[in-house]
A and B are shown apart, each in its own frame.
Chain A
Amino acid sequence: MHSIGFQAHHNYGNEPLGITVPIELGYGRSIVRLTAKVDTGAEFCLFERGLGEALGIDVESGERKELRTANSSFVAFGHEVSLRVLGFDFSLVAYFPLDSGIHRNLLGRQGWLLQVRLGLVDYEQLIYLSKYDA
Chain B
Amino acid sequence: MNGRSALSNSLTPGCQALVFAGTHTSMDLPLQTQGLRISQELPPKRISPLFQSTIPQEQRWDPAYFPKGDHVVVSRDGVFVPRAMFGQPDLHFVTQAGPLGREAATFSRPSASQAGGVFTREASQQTEQYWLLANRLMYIGKWVALSGDSLLAAGPNAPEVYSKARALGVAVPFLAYIDPDDHLPFAGW
Contacts and interface: CB of A to CB of B under 8 A. Distances in A.
Given A34-B174, A41-B188, A84-B118, A5 B158 contact: no
Interface residues of B, number: 48
B171 interface: yes
Interface of B: 7, 9, 14-22, 28-29, 31-36, 118, 121-122, 125, 128-129, 133, 143, 157-159, 161-163, 171-177, 179, 182-183, 185-189
Given A2-B22, A33-B174, A119-B18, A51 B158 contact: yes
Interface of A: 1-9, 13, 15-18, 22, 24, 31-35, 37, 39, 41-42, 48, 50-51, 53-55, 68-70, 84, 86-87, 103-104, 106, 117, 119, 121, 128, 130, 134
Contacts of B21: 1-2
Nearest to B12: A5
A39 B188 contact: yes
Given A2-B28, A15-B129, A50 B20 contact: no
> Which of A9, A39, A50, A54: most chain B Cβ within 10 A?
A54
B159 A54 contact: yes
Contacts of B20: 1-4
A15 to B, nearest CB: 7
A69 B189 CA distance: 4
